[in-house]
Chains A and B, each alone.
Chain A
Amino acid sequence: MPVNMNQAFRDFSRYAVATPQLKAIILLIVSGCFSTAAISADMPTDVSTDELNKQPTEVAHSTAATNLTLAQQANLRNKLYRQALYFYFEGDYNAALSQVSLNRQRFDADTAKSHLFEAGLQVSIGLHHQATETLATFEQALIQQQANDKLAGLEPPTEDKQGSKTATSADELKLIALLQLSEQQIEQGKHSAAQQTLANITQLPASYAEQYQILHQLAYWPASVTPSAKILDESYAGSNQADTELTAKSSLSAYVMLNQALQLMQAKDYQRAETLLVRIKNINLAATETNFWQSLFTEKSPQQRAQVSSKNVNKEMTDISIMTADELKADKQIQQQAINDYAQLLLAQMYVKQGLYQAAFDQLQDFPEHSPYTESALFLFAFSAQQVKQYDTSLALLDLLKRDYQYSQLGWQSALLISAQIKQQNTLSESLYSYQQAEQLYVEQLADLARFHTDIKQTELTPLLFNSNVNAQTGANSQWLQKALENPELKHDIDTLSELSLLTSNIDRQQQKNAWIKESLTLNKQRQARIIEQQSQTQYPELIQQLTNQKQLLAQKITEAEAQENADVFANDAEQAWLKRVNESENIIKAISGQRSTEEYQQRLSRVKAVLNWELQQQFPQRLWQHKKLLKQVDQQLVLVSQQQQRFAQLANSQQQTTAFEQRQAQAETRLVTTTQNIAALEASIKAQIQQKISVFVSEQQIQLEQLLLASRHEMAAVLEQMSQPVINGEEL
C-alpha cells in the first residue's frame, strides 16, 4: 500500500484530495491485476495466465458468428476464401488447403466456391480420392449456398460492363465440378462413373467444349460415342457436327482430332484417318487457354510444390498460365511440334500397316531430327527403306540407330536388321562378321546389365534416384537407370518416395513446433503458478472491501455537505489555512474581549470571514460536481477491480484450460509419432518395390538380349552352314 488510506480520511479538511488518491490506489490494483496482460502484449511468446485460460475459438469466434447478418457473413466468407487464394497464387498449396480447412473450422466459412477450390487444391497435391469425395458433395454445397444467398438477398454473380466476369456463376461452377469429377473418375479407372457424371452435363459454353470432348473420348474409349451435351455457341456447335470438320482452335482440339484419328485407324477407316492426320500434321495451333479453375485442377509434381518458382500466375477467370511469356512461347512450340510429329509418325505407321511402304518412306523423309519420336521414326524409316529397296539409306539409318540408341530395343534390333541386309546383299563372310558384331553387342550389353543390377542392389536408393541430374549423368548405370525409369509404375514409385521424403521433412518441422509448444506450455504453467503465488500474498478481497467502505464514507460526507450547503468541506489547502486562521482569530478575540475593545477586530475578522465564505460559496457548485464525478469514477474502478479479482480467483482455482492445451499438444505428439511410423513403413515398402521392379526390368532386358543373342547365333549358324555347303557339295561331288 503506497498511500496510507486511514491518514487520508482522518482529517475532514483533507477530504478534497482524498478522492483522487483513492482513485490512484484503485488504479494501482487494477494495473497489478492487468500486469500479466501487459506482459502478454509485449511478449507474445509468453502468454498471461488469464489469457492462457481462455478458449478464443469458443469465446470470441462462436459468439461473434451468431450476431452477424447474412450479408456480413457472406462478406467475411469471401475474405477468408481470398486468404486461401493468396497462398495458392503464392504457390503454397498446402497452406492454401490448410486455410480453407481453417476457415471452415473456425468461422464456419463453407461456400460452394471454397468446396471447388478445396477439390482443386487436393488434386494439386495429389489427394485424388479426397478430391473426388469433395467434388461429389459439391452440388449439395452449391444448392445450400444458393439458398443462403437468397436469404441474404445477395445477387448471383453477373457480368460487368466490359463483359469480363467478376465472378463465376453457379452453373459454371457446377459444370467445372462435373468436368473435374469425371476427370478424377477416369484417373481412377472408374469409366462408367465418369460416363454417368458426363451425362449430367446437358449444355456447356464453348470455352469448355474441348475439355468436355476429351473427357468424353477418354470415358468411352475405345468406343466412339457422340457427345450428348449441347454447346452454347453456334459457330462451335456447327463445326462440331462432323469429326473431320473440326478445326484446331487450340492444342486441346488437336488432341481431340488425334484421338479421333486413332479411333478411325482402329476401325480400319484409313481414308478418313489419313485426311485427319494430314490435317493435324500441318496444323498451326492456337495457344491453349486455361482459366483459373482448369489450372487449379492440374496436379503439381512434388518438385513443383517444393520449389516455388517466381513465375506469374494470372487472375481468376481470366486466362491463366504459370509461365512467363517466353516460356509460354517455347512450350507452345514444343507442343505444336510434338503434335505434328506424332501425326506424321502415325500416318507413316498407318501406311506400313497397309503395306504402302513407299508412302511411309516419303512421309518420313522430312521427319525432324530433334523430336521425342525420332527413335521410332528412324526405325520405321529404315524399315520402309528396306522394303522399297533403298538399301544404302536403310543401312545407314540402322547403323545410326545401333550407335545412338545402344540401350534401346530398337537399337538392338537394328543390329540384326543390318546383318540380315548384309546377308541379303553382300558375301556370306561379311554377313558372318556382321552377325558376330551383333552378338558381341548383346554379350557386352548383358554383362553391362548384370553389373548395373549388382550395383543397384548394393547402393542406397534414395540419393541415387533423387539426383535431379539423372538424365545428365553419364555412364552405363545411369543409362540403364534412365531406361528403367521409363516404366511409369517405377517412375510413380520414385515420385512417391520423393513425396514421402518431403512429408518427412514436414513432419520434422512439425515435431519441432510441437516441442516448442510443449515448452511454452510448461513455461506458462510455471509462470501461472508464480503469479498465483504472488497474488496470494496480498489479501485483495479485504483491501477491496476496505476501499469500498471508505468510498461509502466519502459518499455520505459529500451528500451531507450538499444537503447543508457546507462549502467549507471542499476548501483547498490555502482556504483551509485561512479558515483555520479565522477560527484562531475568533478564539483570540473571544479571549481578549473583556480586557480591551475588540469591536474593530471583530469587524475586520467578519469582513475577512465574509469574503472567505463568499469565495467558498462561489466555488461550491463546481467543487461539488467535481467530487461527485470523482466518486463515480472511483465507484466504477472498484466494480472493475472487484470483477477482476473474482475472475482471477476463478482462474487461479481452475487449471482446466491449461490442461486442454496440454491435451491438444499431447494428441498432436501422438499423431506425429504415428504418422512418422506410417511414413517409415510405406517408405520401406516402396523401396522394396522399387528394387523388385528394377529386378523385373533387368530380367526383362536380359530376356530380350538373350533372345536377340540366340537369334544372332542362329543366324550365324545358318550363315556358317551356307558357307560350308559348297565345300560339302564339292566333297560329295
Chain B
Amino acid sequence: MNNTEQGTGQGTGQGTAQGNTVKSSTNFKIWLTLGLFIAIFWSAMQPSSALANTDNDASANAITNGSADSQSQIASELENIKSQVIKLNRDLFILEEDLLFPASTQIAVFVSVDIGRFFTLDSVELKINQQNVAGFLYTQRQRRALEKGGIQKVYMGNLKMGQHQLTAIFTGVDAEGRTVQRAVTHQFEKTDETVMVELKLEDNESSYRADVKVEEWVL
C-alpha cells in the first residue's frame, strides 16, 4: 500500500481520503487505490499550459521510495514497542492480582446479561456477609457491552475460608419504563481455591420479567 499512498499526495487524488469518513480499512485502501489512479490519469491529461512538471514528480517519487524502508522499519519498531507495553501491562496486572488477591482468599463476582428485553440495567450493588463491597453504575455503552454477550468482572476481593453469603441488588428499568429492583442471595463456601460467581440477569419469557441466576464457575 505504500506505493498507492505515494500517489495520493500528487495531483487531484489529494482530496480522496480526506473528504470521506473512512469506514473500514478495505474502504480506505480502495480510496487510496482510486487516488492513485486519478493521479495517474490526471497527470496524463494535464494541459501543457499548466506546466505539469514530470521531473518534480520523479524526484518526489524517488524521495518517497527511499523513505519507504525507514517507514517500514519505524512501523515494525512501533509494533514491537506496543507489543512490549501490552505484555508489560498484562504481567503487572497478574503480579498485582497475585499479590493482592491470592487464590486461597480470592473471590471474584461477574455480571452478565442475557437479552435484556425485560430489564434495562442501571446499577448493581453487592454485599458479602451483609457488608457493602461493591457498586457499579452502568453507562449505556457498558450496558450494551453486557447485552452483546460480554461478562463484566464487577468485584474482586479476599475472603476467609468458610461459609459466606453474597447478596446482589440490581436496579434498572422494566419493559414499561418503571424502576425496578431484582435481588438475589447466594450462600457459598470459600475453599482454598478461587471462587468465581457469575450473576446472570436472564429474561424469563413466561413471567415477562428478568430473573437473577447465580452460577459458580468450575475452575
Contact = CB atoms under 8 A, between A and B. Distances in A.
Indicate, yes or no, whether A interacts with B: yes
Interface of A: 34, 37-38, 40-41, 44-45, 47, 51-52, 54-57, 59-61, 64-65, 68, 72, 75-76, 79, 82-83, 85-91, 94, 97-98, 101-102, 105-107, 123, 125-130, 183, 186-187, 189, 211, 214-215, 218, 221, 251-252, 255, 258-259, 262, 265-266, 288, 290, 294-295, 297-299, 308, 310-316, 331, 334-335, 338, 342, 345-346, 349-350, 352-353, 371-376, 379, 383, 410, 413, 416-417, 420, 486-489, 492-493, 496, 499-500, 503, 506-507, 510, 513-514, 517, 520-521, 524, 661, 664-665, 668, 671-672, 674-675, 678-679, 682, 685-686, 689, 693, 696, 700, 703-704, 707-708, 711
Contacts of B219: 60-61, 64-65, 68, 76, 107
A665 B93 CA distance: 11
B9 A486 contact: yes
Interface string B45-89: 101011101001001100110010011001111111111111111
B206 interface: no
B85 A376 contact: no
Interface stretch (B150-158, B172-180, B181-189): B150-158
Nearest to B146: A86
A123 to B, nearest CB: 8
Contact of A94 (B26, B51, B63, B86): B86
Interface of B: 1-3, 5-6, 8-9, 11-12, 14-21, 23-27, 29-30, 32-34, 37-38, 41-42, 44-45, 47, 49-51, 53, 56, 59-60, 63-64, 67, 70-71, 74-96, 98-106, 110, 112, 139-142, 144-153, 157-160, 192-194, 198, 217-219
A72 B215 CA distance: 13
Q: Please name the 9 residue pairs, one residue from A and one from B, whose CB atoms are nearest each other, closest first.
A: A372-B19, A86-B150, A56-B103, A60-B103, A376-B12, A89-B145, A488-B5, A82-B151, A372-B15
A332 to B, nearest CB: 10
Contacts of B148: 85, 89, 313-316
Nearest to A292: B148
Contacts of A34: 160
B112 A82 contact: yes
A211 B26 contact: yes
A107 B101 CA distance: 16
Contact of B14 (A85, A313, A345, A486): A486
Contact of B95 (A126, A299, A506, A665): A665
Given A288-B23, A682-B78, A255 B30 contact: yes
A331 B75 CA distance: 30
Nearest to B14: A486
B76 to A, nearest CB: 7
Given A82-B112, A89-B150, A294 B74 contact: no
B158 to A, nearest CB: 5
B132 to A, nearest CB: 14
A262 B145 CA distance: 42
B103 A54 contact: yes
9 contacts: A41-B159, A60-B192, A90-B141, A130-B79, A251-B23, A262-B33, A507-B85, A517-B92, A517-B96
Contacts of B101: 44, 56
Contact of A689 (B42, B74, B89): B74
B9 to A, nearest CB: 5
Contacts of A125: 82
Q: Which of B50, B139, B160 has the most CB of A within 10 A?
A: B50
Nearest to A46: B100
A258 B30 contact: yes
B78 A56 contact: no
Contact of B70 (A94, A521, A672, A689): A689
Contacts of B151: 79, 82-83, 85-86
B197 to A, nearest CB: 12
Nearest to B218: A72
Contacts of B67: 489, 689, 693
Given A76-B218, A349-B42, 14 more contacts: A61-B103, A82-B150, A85-B150, A129-B76, A266-B37, A345-B38, A353-B44, A375-B15, A413-B50, A492-B71, A496-B75, A510-B89, A513-B96, A521-B99
